[in-house]
Amino acid sequence: MRIKTSQLIAVLQDLIRTAGNDPELPTLNAILLHTTRGHHGAEPGQVELFAGVSTNRYCVGHTYTWCSGQLSGPSLWSVRDAKNVVSVFKAARGKDKHDVHAVEIVRSAGEIVIREDPNLIDEGVSLAFGERDAGDFPARGVYRHLDIEQPTTKLEVDAGVSRFVDATPATDISPSVLAPFLAVANRRGEPVRLYRTHQWVPILVQMGEAYRGVLMTVRTDDPVEHQERPTSDLYPPDLDDPRWAPKGDATTETEDWQQLDLGVEGDDDSADDSADELEDGPE
């Protein structure tokens, strides 16, 4: 199969983020990759896709991109090999201002060979490594979580032993579980969309069109989570101090719903200008 080098690197970088690194769970220290056909972007009908998934038990990442050709079944790459692929072919790609650099991925007898597209470069860089056993990866469980259907609001969850946990306003997320998704979002330049249901239920994540994930929440019976609002104290200065009095005709509301309403002077002007530009369009 053939794939643009930039797209191969992007897929691997995103999936390395959510892969495991526990030496006691080597089957998760890997990325499961395969080819398929499906819809992507504005292309009419189905196209050939290169898709992958990884997990560390606390989060899951799944993404895909265009390719040409097919692999003969799923292929499991160790995180170490995936990092080597990124390093070697990022250097081989160089500046590639027109994004034309591509590689071929050849699979034979349990070995993966990645080489620069011979149609572009006669004797280019190549890298070979052994596959892991794809059957060791918990693919069914991973994709079950990625495709789970949950109501927007789930009022209670069966915690086992005839015990039910009521839904609360608060959901706790470990920083280490959230961090991979923030890194992926920064690389993609996309907002992180969370589909939250119940504080004990895994949260589905989406970034753009071609990335879906799952993150596990922190399950706690801390009574603080049953509060309607945060319980940490606030210690503001004297907000009646004249220096914070409204200035001139400055409004305390902003029409830009993407920003916090801070009552900052000039908020309305910038919002109005943006609205005029969008409405009138270029001259």
6-62 pLDDT, tens digit per residue, is 999 999 999 999 999 999 999 999 999 999 999 998 778 899 999 999 999 999 999
Q: Which CATH number fits domain 2-136: 3.40.50.300, 3.10.150.10, 1.20.120.420, 3.10.129.10?
A: 3.10.150.10
The predicted model scores a pTM of 0.81
Domain-wise residue ranges, the chain: 2-136, 148-226, 244-278
Strands of the chain (E only): list them: 2-4, 30-38, 47-55, 59-66, 75-78, 102-108, 111-116, 126-130, 156-160, 163-166, 193-195, 203-207, 211-215
pLDDT above 90 (res 206)? yes
Confidence of residue 258 (pLDDT cuts 50, 70, 90): low
Percentage above 90 pLDDT, the chain: 55
**What SS3 class is residue 144?**
helix
pLDDT at 261 over 80: no
What pLDDT score was predicted for residue 167?
Answer: 76
**Distance separating alpha carbons of residues 1 and 11, to the nearest angstrom:** 15
Instruction: Inform me whether the pLDDT recorded for 237 exceeds 80.
Output: yes
CA dist list (Å): 35 to 42, 106, 166, 178, 279: 19, 13, 42, 28, 43
Residue 236's pLDDT band, with cuts at 50, 70 and 90, is confident
Q: Which residues of 82-99 are buried (b: 16+ CB within 10 A; e: fewer)?
A: bebbbeebeebbeeeeee
Read off the pLDDT of each residue in 189-197 and give the average, rounded to a whole number: 90
Task: Give the whole-angstrom CA distance, residue 121 versus residue 73.
Answer: 28
